[in-house]
Amino acid sequence: MNYHLVNMLCISLLLSVCVSPLVAEDWSSFRGPTGQGISSETNLPIKWSNTDNIAWKTTIPGEGWSSPVVHGDHVFVTSTTDDGTSCHVICVDRRSGNIRWNTRVFEQQIRKKRNENSHATPTPTTDGRHVYAVFSGGRMVAVDFDGEIAWTNHEIKFYSHHGLAASPILYRDLVIMPYDGSSDGDNNKVGWKIPWGDAVLLAVDKATGKIRWRGKRGLSRLAHVTPNVLRHKGADQIVSGAGDRVQGFDPTDGRLIWSIYSKGEGVTPSIVVGDGLVFSCSGFEAPTIRAIRAGGKGDVTQSHMAWEQKKGVPSLASLLYVKPNIYSVTDTGIVTCFRAATGDIAWQDRIGGKHAASPIYADGKIYFLTEADGESVVIEAGPDLKILARNRIDEKCKASMAVSQGNLYIRSEQHLFCIGKRPAD
């Protein structure tokens, strides 16, 4: 036996492990596998520019603000043609940055939306076999990893004065999607300014696309809130926020378990959970962060509100829970660190910029992304503001970052960037 060769191979293997992320994971949904914006990876990039420390940069045809999701060597985004009619799911090769396929999934009727929104804002989700996507008209599609359409669901007739921006999530064999819209009749303020009863949390069978259940909200106002899964005393709930309430649903049948009034409308930040609490924001009307205790039944407005905080409230970016703290960034670039248990402010400071993307956390660091010039502000998660780096790609960014297998993925208005070392073959 050539022991020298064996030793060299062992050393090479050890070195390859040492310079690789200790934990490599997929980023399967909006804000990652838990929907919380948390990555367990280490040794991620901290510094880059639009030319330095870029593994690849790929032009994404069409337009859309969905965030990238990653599974294995597949990176998925959605887009529409510039007029919003033709809807596409796009797969990019993680190693090379080449577009593997671009599948036109259907045509949709264009409806009114806010200029800040796109017709492909909902982030897709994947289970490793199919990618599930939703577009502004409410239609849902499943596409396999070869770009072939598995099913489409055209049953949802959705309209919102603001467009659609919430994202679907996967729960076991279900794709779950909130539809919190408004009336497209003569009085378009119904559902927007005036509560209505047509909003629904929808669950479809991920194998067939057939509707399994409809979770009824009751009277509520429009929102764009991506739901999350809360596990409490051994049982799961789907926690979903509307414009003026937060609710918990039974994932087996869509039964409404609890509901809490939360004054607001047009809410965008997604639901965050931690240590038996549900954290939500109230959007553009009466901006408030609310912490709700788990375990209630029925209307829990008077019984299960743990705390409220009216300072440092984001309108667009989601909260970030890094125990024992909650971090927020406002539209105008003010970062606040709250004590998650009480809502008290630990510190507040300004990092600048306009913020639509939600922050992420990995390896003791928090990554923020500004809208106008795609500047990533990297800070240390700690007792005060410590900025580690500012990195600009000089392109408009509204989508949130993804993290997978040692790289960061940033979608700009025109491109998809892979930040860090080029993925190994």
Are the C-beta atoms of residues 345 and 336 closer than 8 Å to each other?
yes
- Tell me the C-alpha distance between 194 and 179, whole Å: 16
- Tell me the C-alpha distance between 331 and 260, whole Å: 26
Q: 3-419, what's its fold?
A: Methylamine Dehydrogenase; Chain H (2.130.10)
| Residues 286-322 pLDDT 10s | 899 999 999 999 999 999 999 999 999 999 999 999 9
Our CA angle for 282, 341, 315, nearest 5°, is: 20
| pLDDT exceeds cutoff 90 at 94 | yes
| Residues 137-187 pLDDT 10s | 999 999 999 999 999 999 988 888 888 999 999 999 999 999 999 888 767
* Residues 6+ positions from 255 with CB-CB distance below 8 Å: 215, 249
- Tell me the C-alpha distance between 35 and 178, whole Å: 15
Overall average pLDDT of the 195-208 stretch = 96
Are the C-beta atoms of residues 377 and 339 closer than 8 Å to each other?
no
DSSP string for residues in 327-367: EEE-TTSEEEEEETTT--EEEEEE--S---SPPEEETTEEE
- Tell me the C-alpha distance between 134 and 24, whole Å: 27
| pLDDT exceeds cutoff 60 at 38 | yes
Residue ranges per domain, the chain? 3-419
For residue 425, name the pLDDT band (cuts at 50, 70, 90).
Answer: low
Please state, for a pLDDT cut of 90, what percent of the chain lies above it: 83
Q: Which amino acid is at 136?
A: S
Overall average pLDDT of the 72-78 stretch = 99
| pLDDT exceeds cutoff 60 at 15 | no
Q: What six digits make up the tokens of 325?
A: 């703290």
- Tell me the C-alpha distance between 264 and 107, whole Å: 33
| C-alpha dihedral, 45 to 331 to 183 to 157, nearest 10° | 0
Per-residue pLDDT, 21: 45
| pLDDT exceeds cutoff 90 at 200 | yes
For residue 234, name the pLDDT band (cuts at 50, 70, 90).
Answer: very high
Overall average pLDDT of the 93-118 stretch = 92
Per-residue pLDDT, 308: 97
Report the DSSP pairing between strands 149-153 and 140-144. Answer: antiparallel
Q: What six digits make up the tokens of 174?
A: 């279900």
The three-class DSSP label of residue 5 is helix
Residue 322: name the closest of 363, 287, 286, 294 by CA: 363
- How are strands ordered across the β-sheet holding 99-107? 69-71, 74-80, 86-93, 99-107
């959705």: which residue's tokens?
158
Per-residue pLDDT, 129: 98
- Tell me the C-alpha distance between 200 and 178, whole Å: 6
